[in-house]
Structure 1
Amino acid sequence: MALDPAFLEELRARTPIASVIGRRTKLVRSGRNWKACCPFHGEKTPSFYVYDDHFHCFGCGAHGDVISFVMQSEGRSFPEAVAELAGEAGLEVPRASPREREAEQRARGLSDVLDLVQAAWVRRLHAPEGRAGLAYLRGRGLSDETIAGFGLGWSGDGRGGLLNELAPHGVTPEMLAQAGLMRVDEDGRPKGELFFNRVTFPIRDRRGSLVSFGGRILGDGQPKYLNGPETALFSKRRTLFGMDRARAALRTARPRGAPPVELVVVEGYMDVIALHQAGFPGAVAPLGTALTSEQMEALWQMAAAPILCFDGDGAGQRAAVKAAETALPLLDINRTLRFCALPEGEDPDSLLRGQGSGAVAALLEGARPIGHVLFDLLTQGVRDPGPEQRAAVRRRLVEAAALIADKGLAAEYRSTLLDRFFETYRRRPGQGKRAGQGGQRGDGRQAGVSWPAGSAPAPFDEAAAAQERMRILTAILLRHPHILPEVEDAYCRLDLPPALARVRAAVMDLAASGDLTDAKALDRRLDEGGLAEERMAVVAARPLPMSLSAPDDLMAVDVVQEWWHFFALLNVRQFGEDIRLDTESLCAGTLDARSWASLRTRLLAWEALRRGDLTPGEG
């Protein structure tokens, strides 16, 4: 039974070969690939290697893709192996109708047409008519070897010369149109060559088969770059320029001591070609569109953490944001992305010509995981936001993390993004030491506190005292979680010890998801999350005063005020400076009602501290 090549390609892309082979034999990592003792012949030393899309045994010569492995290891026919893998991948095996069989034969014919066109365009590049195109490529720094290796060509003037040249081979206008090389009118009739007066770039699928072309016009014509349309052979969403060469480079063993080949996604044909020529053979590019989910799946078939390296301009930044949003639902613990920030106004080609391969190597080496750059990507252009803008930014960050299908990974991203949010937008410009980083004078007393004569406390361990106050602040929130919205900005700025930080992260996650209701429910959720020991250490290490640990309807004190009281003790000087700044904002009329309520509570705590109602030793 003949099957659609596109279906088989999709099946292979959706079926990681290492996981299928790993069911039959134990695989161990060998660089980017896997190795094992061959399941087809007895051996004690591994000679069976598994790559991203095929296997090969250097002992017995067994070789093939994931479909042939199932056939050989389970004794199945080709249709049976396809049906088994398709069922596991959630695909339905298409039934070949007479029309589909005819389409398959037509596709094979289109492949032959493309090969004939490629040969004609390469010949033209080196003929007098292609002189301008060849000069352009050499002027961009490409060697003749690179030009030949990528099969670059010249399309001619588009006045029928291509059709006349191919007619002796039986090529008709209809065949050229079906191959994506001629434009058609409203009735579908061919009406002129698509590519003319352009340098041509062959587009190949991951196996190296020619599927379409791209072209760059010389001069001021538009569009500058042009890709062939969708055809029976070419799917723009699934193809990356340079993918075949990058796959080969990633599979090839490197000399000892040589740096590994990195899979790098750039924006254009010339970027890819220039990088390959400069010794970066893992470069690929989408075809004039934003990265699609299908292209990302293809990238992860080649490498677990490809690098996205977009131009250092506004369009490049937007492309990076779009790529991140597309990737989030697809992330898991085994596949991610890294991002490489180019200098503003630069692309890889210009950087290579201006600063050399060393500059590019340094940028790639500094590529950062998506978890480290996602906050920056999602908050581009946000500067000193007001309350409404902060709320919008926070919502966007939480929604971005929620796109990740893996719930555990999504929770980690949400915590990381919210930590950055509070650190970035809730700390005032010019702020000194963060709360929790000290503030005591050299004699062990808090700076700025007026002590009654003769009542100075005995020296105590400052670090231990700071940690105890952080425990009290956390314990108050566990007993009275309803006050979190009033104090969360300050609480998230604290440099907590690891155990308290884990509790805080869980509390913030529950708050972000709307699961923060009452103290008993919070205790239960923390325990269910594996934090029972940490929670008990917070609330039972030293019990809170009765006024703070009692239920809300029995409280004898304002819990929020008392929380701020203990917070102030961590860094009295900074606490006073914050109050001064907010008071100035109030006088200037820039403080809203909610901010004034918060300021009033902190002022009361500040006054109590200055009166000595609570000494630093109490906690």
Structure 2
Amino acid sequence: MLTPQWLDELKSRITLSSLVQKTVNLQRAGREWKACCPFHNEATPSFYVNDQKGFYHCFGCQAHGSAIDWMIEQRGLQFMDAVKELAAEAGMEVPAPDPRAAERAEKRASLHDVMQAAQDWFVARLASDEGVGARRYLEKRGLSQRMIEQFGFGYAPDDKLAIKQALSQFDEAMLVEAGLLIAVDDKLPYARFRGRLMLPIQDARGRVIAFGGRILESRDGIAKYLNSPDTPLFDKGRTLYNIHRAGAASRKTERVIAVEGYMDVIALAQAGFEDVVAPMGTALTETQVELLWRMADKPVLCFDGDAAGQRAAMRAAERTLPLLRPGHSLQIVQLPAGLDPDDLVKQRGAAAMETLLARPKSLLDLIWEHEREAQPLTSPEDKAGLKERLLDHVAAIQHPDIKSLYKRELLDLYGRLAFPQREFKKREWTQKRSTNIIDFVEEKRRRDALKHSAALTKQEQYLRNRLGSALTAGLLRRPYLIPAHAADIFAIPEVELDPRLRLLIEAWQDGLELDPITMGAVLKTAGQELPKPEDYGRLRFTFVWPRASDDDAEKSLEKGVGLYAGLPEWKELLARVNASFEQDLRDEIYVEQQRLRAQVEDFLPSIRKLLVA
């Protein structure tokens, strides 16, 4: 027998839009997906899929259902066949037929009754004389009565047998199974929660499935927080605290915030942030990430600003990388050092929290910053270690496109750190107005110089573009020359670098040998191919020409790279000299201008020297 609870669990593990999208072209529509209905002909989309609510609905033909209904109606499967196929996709085992299944389902339902009775009793204890210390604690924390009632605060007396006596209408074994009593061999079962402020943990339907208890005063050897153990109702790795409230709120805000603990959730709720959840005192699990993605495509993880909070952020990142899929990621907000969300909103107000939430850090940025700061980068070995750690994270990503993009962006960041662009020294000029009289000859000389300089621009750029294409072709034809000229290549602005050449540079950075077979495989994987003659024009550069010797190719390529990277530097210096010349017509500035102009004008003859004879 398949119990309602088992079927609910199955549906919760299936992302309905991913299932429907296998046969229907869904398009984003806010928090939902839409398409033309697959059950009737229509020109305007009226078929919607809602992952948060777990159902599809057509406003035209009124087709409506869950993932199981979809498999039956769209795929034509029988109920059990649909369940088995979905269970296989979700990694669940279909329960075998068992005559005792109905009895277990009834028992499970009755555990909900046990938990609700316990919750009612804890709330009553808080309001009694026994709860005076707990009420003072709540007052000290600044919680309003509305928050106390909304989140169901209660109190567990410091008595080993009180709850067993209070819930005597239930079998003792059920109290043990619900996690309210601890059974020890040869001893009477006794209360798990004693002398603690109690918080109910609820499922997505708002039913109490577990409890969290906090001590009122710190005591050596006593854990500050104590959760229910895993039970038939409660699996801490598959549960998010406050999910039943945050789910509704997130549909309005199109956001969900995950914090570290219960009290953070409640503090933010009191400050007006209702779309907040928390894991159950453990690192964020894969299932919890999927639950968050049902509420928002990019949940915001908000961690304390201490070292433990930073470690928690990285653990969440590592758990999430293999799960990444298009449009779904995580955003991270790290609070100021020494503050948790409760401290922040109390000391700086809700506006400070809104400001942080408006500037979250991406998952990629978190990984880069964490690994960059993890160890000193004072030697080549340190920098190589950074690259290795970054690539280890990339290797965890399963989606091929996302993996490729993460690799490229992280290696771009690494390249700018490990191979910074070279800075050239710029000569400083003293702008001192000449005392000479500007006569007709000098004025004409100035105008001619500026005019000639401007006239070169288009021609220079045209020739430089052809040289750049030829350099790419030469390096692609002779990739073994890349390592020798890596520094010069990195000095070329990224926007001018052919994507094929960047792919080979990345492959070399990854430790691959740049032989023709590897090069072809790298380019083919990225959908690229070797350059054709038309890619670099008719100029037959030595470093491109197939019959050129390796020695000639290497020498001419070195000159070509220098020319390509050097022209912008010469032009910048020439522009500065021209600007000085407008103000100061001294002969020495004129001489410098002519020298630089000659260097720029030598660009074309120098290119010709690189051509095959």
TM-score greater than 0.5 by the shorter chain: yes
Aligned to 2:373, the other structure's residue is in SS state coil
Distance 1:40 1:463, change over 3 A: closer
Cα displacement (A) at 1:58:
9.6
Aligned to 1:556, the other structure's residue is in SS state helix
Counterpart-to-counterpart distance in 2, 1:20 and 1:564: 52
Give the aligned partner of residue 453 of structure 1.
Answer: none
- The amino acid that maps onto 1:505 is R
- List per-residue Cα deviations over 1:75-107 (Å, max 9, x = no partner): 877545423433554544221434555443332
TM-score (norm 2): 0.78
Give the aligned partner of residue 111 of structure 1.
Answer: 112
- More displaced, 386-395 or 501-510? 501-510
Q: Is the 8 A contact 1:71 1:78 kept in 2?
A: yes
- More displaced, 14-23 or 398-407? 14-23
Q: Is the 8 A contact 2:472 2:498 kept in 1?
A: no
Determine if the alignment matches structure 1 residue 244 to structure 2 residue 241.
no
Determine if the alignment matches structure 1 residue 356 to structure 2 residue 354.
no
- List per-residue Cα deviations over 1:124-145 (Å, max 9, x = no partner): 1122211221222232232111
Give the aligned partner of residue 576 of structure 2.
Answer: none
Counterpart-to-counterpart distance in 1, 2:518 and 2:56: 56
- More displaced, 342-351 or 25-34? 25-34
Q: Is the 8 A contact 1:470 1:496 kept in 2?
A: no
Quick one: which of 282, 290, 297 aligns to 2:283?
290
Cα displacement (A) at 1:3:
3.4
Distance 1:548 1:23, change over 3 A: closer
Distance 1:45 1:567, change over 3 A: closer
Q: Is the 8 A contact 2:249 2:275 kept in 1?
A: yes
Distance 1:410 1:278, change over 3 A: same
Cα displacement (A) at 1:237:
0.9
Counterpart-to-counterpart distance in 2, 1:332 and 1:20: 14
- List per-residue Cα deviations over 1:458-515 (Å, max 9, x = no partner): 74437667766655654443233224344435534532325x2522432234335555
Distance 1:122 1:99, change over 3 A: same
Give the aligned partner of residue 12 of structure 1.
Answer: 11
Counterpart-to-counterpart distance in 1, 2:242 and 2:190: 28
Cα displacement (A) at 1:381:
2.9
Give the aligned partner of residue 305 of structure 1.
Answer: 298
- List per-residue Cα deviations over 1:552-576 (Å, max 9, x = no partner): 9641375585477447626779xxx
Give the aligned partner of residue 123 of structure 1.
Answer: 124
Determine if the alignment matches structure 1 residue 526 to structure 2 residue 523.
yes
Counterpart-to-counterpart distance in 2, 1:539 and 1:74: 50
Corresponding pairs, count: 552
Cα displacement (A) at 1:278:
2.0
Give the aligned partner of residue 598 of structure 1.
Answer: none
Q: Give the RMSD, CA atoms, in angstroms.
A: 3.9
Counterpart-to-counterpart distance in 2, 1:479 and 1:22: 43
Cα displacement (A) at 1:399:
1.9
Equivalent positions of 1:304-383 (< 5 A) are: 304-383=297-376
Counterpart-to-counterpart distance in 2, 1:281 and 1:542: 66
- The amino acid that maps onto 1:317 is Q
Quick one: which of 535, 540, 565 aligns to 2:536?
540
Counterpart-to-counterpart distance in 2, 1:494 and 1:188: 78
Aligned to 1:379, the other structure's residue is in SS state helix
Counterpart-to-counterpart distance in 2, 1:521 and 1:24: 37
Distance 1:110 1:408, change over 3 A: same
Distance 1:261 1:538, change over 3 A: same
- The amino acid that maps onto 1:53 is K
Counterpart-to-counterpart distance in 2, 1:545 and 1:74: 61
Counterpart-to-counterpart distance in 2, 1:98 and 1:552: 83
Distance 1:128 1:63, change over 3 A: farther
- List per-residue Cα deviations over 1:129-171 (Å, max 9, x = no partner): 112212222322321111111111111113321111111x234
Counterpart-to-counterpart distance in 2, 1:275 and 1:228: 24
Give the aligned partner of residue 54 of structure 1.
Answer: 54
Counterpart-to-counterpart distance in 1, 2:478 and 2:292: 48
Counterpart-to-counterpart distance in 2, 1:440 and 1:331: 50
Q: Is the 8 A contact 2:203 2:239 kept in 1?
A: yes
Give ranges in structure 1 of 5+ residues lacking alignment: 255-259, 443-457, 574-611
Distance 1:388 1:9, change over 3 A: farther
Cα displacement (A) at 1:532:
3.9
Give ranges in structure 2 of 5+ residues lacking alignment: 430-451, 571-598, 608-613
Aligned to 1:427, the other structure's residue is in SS state coil
Aligned to 2:503, the other structure's residue is in SS state helix
Q: Is the 8 A contact 1:195 1:215 kept in 2?
A: yes
Identical aligned residues as a percent: 34
Q: Is the 8 A contact 1:265 1:308 kept in 2?
A: yes
Give the aligned partner of residue 198 of structure 1.
Answer: 196
Q: Is the 8 A contact 2:303 2:313 kept in 1?
A: yes
- List per-residue Cα deviations over 1:265-314 (Å, max 9, x = no partner): 11011111122222222211111111111211221222211111111110
Equivalent positions of 1:11-410 (< 5 A) are: 11-20=10-19, 28-34=27-33, 46=46, 50-55=50-55, 65-68=66-69, 70=71, 78-89=79-90, 91-98=92-99, 100-167=101-168, 169-172=169-172, 174-185=173-184, 187=185, 191-221=189-219, 222-251=222-251, 254=252, 260-410=253-403
Distance 1:403 1:493, change over 3 A: farther
Counterpart-to-counterpart distance in 2, 1:144 and 1:542: 82
Counterpart-to-counterpart distance in 1, 2:45 and 2:547: 68
Q: Is the 8 A contact 1:250 1:261 kept in 2?
A: yes
Counterpart-to-counterpart distance in 2, 1:550 and 1:366: 53
